[in-house]
Amino acid sequence: MLYLVALLSHCLPLAMGQYDICKSWVTTDDGPSWEFYACQPKAMRMKDYVTVRVDPAGITCGDPPERFCTHENPYLCSDECDASNPDLAHPPKLMFDSEDEGLATYWQSVTWRRYPEPLLANITLSWNKSIELTDDIVITFEYGRPTIMMLEKSLDNGRTWHPYQYYADDCMEAFSMPARRVRDLSTTSANRVLCTEEYSRWAGSKKEKTVRFEVRDRFAIFAGPDLKNMDNLYTRLESAKGLKDFFTVTDLRMRLLRPALGGTYVQRENLYKYFYAVSNIEVTGRCKCNLHANLCTFKEGSLQCECEHNTTGQDCGKCKKNFRSRSWRAGSYLPLPNGSPNACAAAGSAFGNCECYGHSNRCSYIDFLNVVTCVSCKHNTRGQHCQHCRLGFYRNSSAELDDENVCIECNCNQIGSMHDRCNETGYCECKEGATGPKCDDCLPNYYWRQGCFPNVCDDELLLCQNGGTCYQNQRCICPVGFKGVLCQQSRCEADKDCDGASSVRSSLGAVLLGVLALQLHGWGDL
């Protein structure tokens, strides 16, 4: 039978491309059944699904209308940008249209009339979906490429941003980075963030219009110059830490930091020729579906994987309800050529009847108890079905049993609590004097100092006497001539002779009193 399966999988339509089917109906000795494979959607033109935002407000030209010139024709400033006139407006959407007639349509910024203040603009592209880049990002600039710019990316829908690539005509001057080329990277540095001078030098605005983020050159490090050896790339994507994530984005941001200068210094007398104009931003990639989907559709304004393998979520990043008998895993490109689906399994299917709520991948049979039990429960769970929380954790009442966040750490204050366990609502058991859910507060009439101690003095009952002042409820600061826990005792009380001769005796008395006070104090603690 194994032989037959091997034969059948060999006959699959692999020629169509790698990893493009998720399952196939095959016939074996045991009858027909589904066979499952790692699968991914086709690469698409991602600019068709993007949301764009241009910052700061007012950076787009034409409001109010203004004239501009070009580097080729610096004294013929007859071009006009006017936001209220559709023929003369240059809104951001023109970076993503299709230019069927071959006439470039472009977004354009205001001119650099505020020089020497820098002319800064951010173009932020958001997909609200993780995308895996499969080809170069190509940005086309009309009227010259910026002399300094930066590409940033986000993996979490714009919450955090990371540099992706730096671009400058002089990397050292602009970013204090040596200039490098992606072509010169090696297998160990394929995901390095570098600064390149290849796309920033002046070569005439018509001649060199594009700025690239080189995805293909990076792939070629593993797959060879014509990307013929994709198997090697897929193997590397699976094994090299961080490599897959390097090509994954949810958002991209172009930070335009200095416009084209026409190959010379800024000419202050003609600032109308300095501005940014972007006619196209090409981003080619596929939806990231964790190798659990071969279709990705645009629904309700967002891309969405059509998940197979009984997974669900925007990226097929979790198991469907009732398919959580083992934890979710991404599919794998390996073993070649079909990969592993790592499908989610129905409760009760793969492991007899042992449900582990997705906190364990393994069950084991304990002979003398005659039970099947989950092994190595994760996410701080324990128990036969990973259905309890480990000691020191309590049940998250807003999470289902199969949620990764089902157990919350008790976080008991180490000094204030008896131990690090807590009850079902997260309350710790406090030592005397301590209070609060985590035992990090003191009851009234106690003060905190590495634990809670009863007040020595206060402003109500335990008043410092003879003009003494209470210091943080811990002790009385006595005026000269008085001593005792509450300054209740005159230094000269014991014998009227307060000169040096008897000082040994009286200080001995003070020590004794102190010991007494400490003991009294100590009893309060017990």
Residue 94 touches which of ligand NAG, Ca ion, none (Cβ within 5-8 Å per kind): Ca ion
Asked if 394 and 382 count as a contact pair (C-beta separation under 8 A), the reply is: no
Phi/psi-derived region of residue 168, left when phi > 0, alpha when psi is between -120 and 50, beta in every other case: beta
Straight-line distance from the first to the last Cα atom of the chain, in angstroms, rounded to the nearest whole number: 75
Contact status: 301 vs ligand NAG (CB under 6 A): yes
Contact status: 36 vs ligand NAG (CB under 6 A): yes
**CA-to-CA distance for 452 and 449, rounded, in angstroms?**
6
**CA-to-CA distance for 503 and 506, rounded, in angstroms?**
5
**Position among 109, 111, 250, 310 found at the interface with ligand NAG (CB under 6 A):** 310
**CA-to-CA distance for 126 and 272, rounded, in angstroms?**
31
Contact status: 94 vs Ca ion (CB under 5 A): yes
**CA-to-CA distance for 442 and 60, rounded, in angstroms?**
59
C-alpha distances out from residue 155 to 151, 304, 306, Å: 14, 16, 21
- If the CB atoms of residues 381 and 455 are measured against ligand NAG, the closer one turns out to be 381
Binding pattern for the stretch 150-169 against ligand NAG, x by CB under 6 A and - elsewhere: --x--------x--------
Residue 253 touches which of Ca ion, ligand NAG, none (Cβ within 5-8 Å per kind): ligand NAG
- If the CB atoms of residues 55 and 97 are measured against Ca ion, the closer one turns out to be 97
Give residue 151's identity as a one-letter amino acid code: L
Binding pattern for the stretch 337-376 against ligand NAG, x by CB under 6 A and - elsewhere: ------x---------------------------------
Residue 506 touches which of Ca ion, ligand NAG, none (Cβ within 5-8 Å per kind): none
Asked if 356 and 344 count as a contact pair (C-beta separation under 8 A), the reply is: no
Show the tokens assigned to 7.
Answer: 């034969």
**CA-to-CA distance for 254 and 6, rounded, in angstroms?**
48
- If the CB atoms of residues 253 and 326 are measured against ligand NAG, the closer one turns out to be 253
Torsion of CA 511, 512, 513, 517, to 10 degrees: 100
* Least Cβ distance, residue 140 to ligand NAG (angstroms): 21
**CA-to-CA distance for 260 and 74, rounded, in angstroms?**
13
* Least Cβ distance, residue 206 to Ca ion (angstroms): 16
Contact status: 253 vs ligand NAG (CB under 6 A): yes
* Least Cβ distance, residue 301 to ligand NAG (angstroms): 5
Contact status: 297 vs ligand NAG (CB under 6 A): no
* Least Cβ distance, residue 235 to ligand NAG (angstroms): 24
DSSP SS3 for 183: helix
**Position among 13, 32, 56, 444 found at the interface with ligand NAG (CB under 6 A):** 56
Q: Which residues of the shown chain bind ligand NAG in the complex (CB under 6 A)? A: 34, 36, 55-56, 120, 122, 128, 152, 161, 253, 255, 301-302, 304, 309-310, 314, 343, 396, 398-399, 403, 405, 408, 423-425, 427
